[in-house]
Amino acid sequence: MADSPQEPHDELGQVDDHEATETISTGTLPDAETIRRLLRQAHRRYAGNDDGAVADHIPALADADPGLFGISLTSIEGDVYSVGDTAHTFTIQSISKAFVFALACRELGHEPVRNTVGVNNTGLPFDSVMALELNGGHPMNPMVNAGALATSALVPGEDLEAKWNFIRDGLSRFAGRRLELDEDAWASEQAANQRNTGIARLLESHGRMDFDAADATDLFTRQCSLLVTAEDLSAMGATLSAGGVNPVTGDEVVGPEVARDTLAVLASTGMYEASGDWLFEIGLPAKSGVSGGVVTVSPGKGGLATYSAPLDDAGTSVRGQLAAGFLSARLGLNLFASRPAAQRAARGD
């Protein structure tokens, strides 16, 4: 009998230990047929979930189809497994922050970016001004908007267009194809960008930004308006999983040290003030965006991505987090899961 779309014990997609095919962080992904079966099962299980609401604080996002739902997994070997609406394009939004951070680290190095942007969770909302004021104008991490604005301003380029070309080219290499800008989304977000502009000017006033605040805001808004699919996001996640090499194209986008640093920041801050809950329940570095995308990364295994526009109160896709929890347990992705030594010996591991 098929699984019902919602079950009482399945709040974050978690399953009982005896239901999981694999529950350890080491090793490899299951065989291809098992992966396909579990992706289909996750899609069937949560496609009927009608919880959440489509974001409307940015006009261009309000028209998203709430019924669309796609799940894609790309392994570090470059195998792609997809089910549902994984070719549908949507704007990358805040998910871009993780990959721009990686690009900045590649160019500037571990310590300079850490000293400028920070790596600690604020415990406050992603667009908090208070977090800046409480820390002397220092952006605490690159996943909140203050840190993302500072990170985008750090990338190489003498002017706005040069920096934009660097970011667009870098994110395209992560995805394995040329990413296009959604001009309508960019214009829509620019019209509602007063808070980000204020944050950028506050950073500038504290001497935390050596680039024009208005241009930095425009740059950040453009990167958030790049169009991606769930398959693109899974490839981007898999690139971080594979030590910075895109497993589909073979292109080394960043080095293994940068991939490691990016995943560490994603684990601790990627889901903002809910990062601890996410790690406790799902156990993977992750980043979500208000357009409905979610990317999770299992180091050494692959990248898992989902798309579904309805969001919970924290701004994360409802179906996306349910699917991530379900598949993390079933595919053995959780970083913190292990098998007792006696069981390993009995299996010959």
Residue ranges for the known binding site for substrate are 94, 145, 189, 196, 272, 290
Binding site residues, as ranges? 94, 145, 189, 196, 272, 290
| Phi, psi angle pair for 270, to nearest 5° | -60, -30
Distance CA(25)–CA(287), nearest Å, equals 19
Write the secondary structure of the chain as one string of H (helix), E (strand) and C (coil).
CCCCCCCCCCCCCCCCHHHCCCCCCCCCCCCHHHHHHHHHHHHHHHCCCCCCECCCCCHHHCCCCCCCCEEEEEECCCCEEEEECCCCCEECHHHHHHHHHHHHHHHHCHHHHHHHHCCCCCCCCCCCCHHHHHCCCCCCCCCCHHHHHHHHHHCCCCCHHHHHHHHHHHHHHHHCCCCCECHHHHHHHHHCCHHHHHHHHHHHHCCCCCCCHHHHHHHHHHHHCEEECHHHHHHHHHHHHCCCECCCCCCECCCHHHHHHHHHHHHHHCCHHHHHHHHHHCCCCEEECCCCEEEEEECCCEEEEEECCCECCCCCEHHHHHHHHHHHHHCCCCCCCCCCHHHHHHHCC
